[in-house]
Amino acid sequence: MRRWRPDRLAARFALLLTAALLAANLAALGLLALERDRLEGRARDEAVLARLLAVAPLMDGAADATRARLAEGLSRRGLRVRIDDRPAVAPDAGDRRTRRLRTRVEAALEGRALRLAPASARGGPAASLALSDPPGWLNATWRGGPPPRRGEAWPVVLLLALGLAATLAVGLAFVRQLTRPLGALAAAARAAGRGDRAVRVPEDGARELREAAAAFNDMQARIARADAERMRLVAALGHDLRTPITSLRIRAEMLEEAGGETGAEAAAMGDTLREMEVMADGLLAFARGEGEAEAPERIDLAPWLGRLAAARGAAVGDMAAVAAQARPVALGRAVGNLVDNALRYAGGATLRLDREGAEAVIAVEDDGPGIPPERLGEMTEPFRRGEASRGRDTGGAGLGLAIARAVAEAHGGALRLRNRAGGGLAAEIRLPAEADGA
């Protein structure tokens, strides 16, 4: 139903303004035309009467032939004059317009009888003027409507177009002033939605815009504070749980040494407690990573990844030349977690770097067992682990992928997991890349 409405604010405004200006100007033009016709009609009526009144004295006392010749001389386009025995206009004919006309020519009548009739559907206005010696009537009718006009439309159209162009220019500049901060606000809100707590919008422009920007900035600050508070809580939890768990584990190990059925029970308990220890450590690491307020910087990804691969013992595959704005410590932890997983579950990792459109794609590939397709989605949730990591030697907290995903999303990117065609897992961190040559 609202299909016809343009999408952009500027276009809507231009349309509304054009419609309003056209309507107002057409109405004004119409009124002006009516007024002009009225004035012109009045002037013509007076001119005709003045001519009749000038000739009438010459007809008084003149012969029929002279009268006829004079009448013929008066007649012209749009004015018909005849000499008759009777008046063509009834005595009581007349309206406001004719009454006014009579008062304006009253002085020139000098007692001569004049009958006036207004323009009607049958024809233009008419007048009958009495003649004497012999008595007779000078009957005249003339055209009432305005004479046809030509070639007058273009100045009006030109003026209208100029007025419209000027108003639109001013109006669109105004709308631009309005939409530019709105666009910035939308972009900032999108970045905030992706988890960027550092983004702020400038608080300038008109009051309403300043207020919207201030409200957004305020919201960002509040969320950042709440985030930090939550992370402090998680860290405290991880830290405070660790001590009692460790003491329980040590006691379980002591019991284990006693052997027998109790010892076997205690060994199982010890395993569970070790697992809980790792989880508490993980909580701490998670909270520490998230809590850090690190400034993003421009990273030339290929050499940076090369150094990371060398430090972690990963192989290096194809590397495209791509740069991105990123927080190096956080991104290093994210990629490091992926490399650790590949080394732990597949025994080897290969790092690749690619550019796909506006995205930098950091891929960590391996030739291991991969992840069952139905579990690919859930593995990035915190504390999710596969069977492979249940064993004692490989056991982790199940936070590595969750951290990598959180970091990628905080950079405005994403973490993708997929099983490679030839077997093994490919874990990709996709980030907004800097424009080429930047």
Binding site for ligand ATP (CB under 6 A): 282, 337, 341-342, 345-346, 366, 368-371, 379, 384-386, 388-389, 396-402, 425
Binding at 129: pick from ligand ATP, Mg ion, none (beta carbon under 5-8 Å per type): none
- Residue whose CB is less far from ligand ATP, 312 or 385: 385
Binding at 365: pick from Mg ion, ligand ATP, none (beta carbon under 5-8 Å per type): none
What is the closest distance, in whole angstroms, from the C-beta atom of residue 335 to ligand ATP in the complex?
Answer: 12
Binding at 14: pick from Mg ion, ligand ATP, none (beta carbon under 5-8 Å per type): none
What is the closest distance, in whole angstroms, from the C-beta atom of residue 437 to ligand ATP in the complex?
Answer: 35
DSSP codes of every residue in 319-340: E---EEEE-HHHHHHHHHHHHH
- Residue whose CB is less far from ligand ATP, 59 or 346: 346
What is the closest distance, in whole angstroms, from the C-beta atom of residue 177 to ligand ATP in the complex?
Answer: 48
As a whole number of angstroms, the distance between CA 130 and CA 84 comes to 10
What is the closest distance, in whole angstroms, from the C-beta atom of residue 340 to Mg ion in the complex?
Answer: 5
Coil, helix or strand at residue 61: coil
What is the closest distance, in whole angstroms, from the C-beta atom of residue 175 to Mg ion in the complex?
Answer: 52
DSSP state of 350: E
Of the candidates 224, 227, 241, 238, the residue with the CA atom closest to the CA atom of residue 285: 238
- Residue whose CB is less far from ligand ATP, 116 or 273: 273
What is the closest distance, in whole angstroms, from the C-beta atom of residue 276 to Mg ion in the complex?
Answer: 17
As a whole number of angstroms, the distance between CA 375 and CA 98 comes to 98
DSSP state of 7: S
What is the closest distance, in whole angstroms, from the C-beta atom of residue 10 to ligand ATP in the complex?
Answer: 48
- Residue whose CB is less far from ligand ATP, 10 or 425: 425
Sheet holding 359-365, edge to edge: 315-319, 350-356, 359-365, 425-432, 414-419
> Residues 258, 240: contact at Cβ < 8 Å?
no
- Please, which contacts does 87-95 make with residues 24 or more away whose CB atoms are closer than 8 Å? 87/115, 87/128, 87/130, 87/137, 87/139, 88/126, 88/128, 88/137, 88/139, 88/141, 89/115, 89/116, 89/117, 89/126, 89/127, 89/128, 89/139, 90/115, 90/117, 91/115, 93/117, 93/118, 94/118
- Residue whose CB is less far from ligand ATP, 361 or 425: 425
- Residue whose CB is less far from ligand ATP, 270 or 282: 282
Positions in the binding site for Mg ion (CB under 5 A):
341, 396, 400
Binding at 384: pick from Mg ion, ligand ATP, none (beta carbon under 5-8 Å per type): ligand ATP
- Residue whose CB is less far from ligand ATP, 308 or 379: 379
Binding at 94: pick from Mg ion, ligand ATP, none (beta carbon under 5-8 Å per type): none
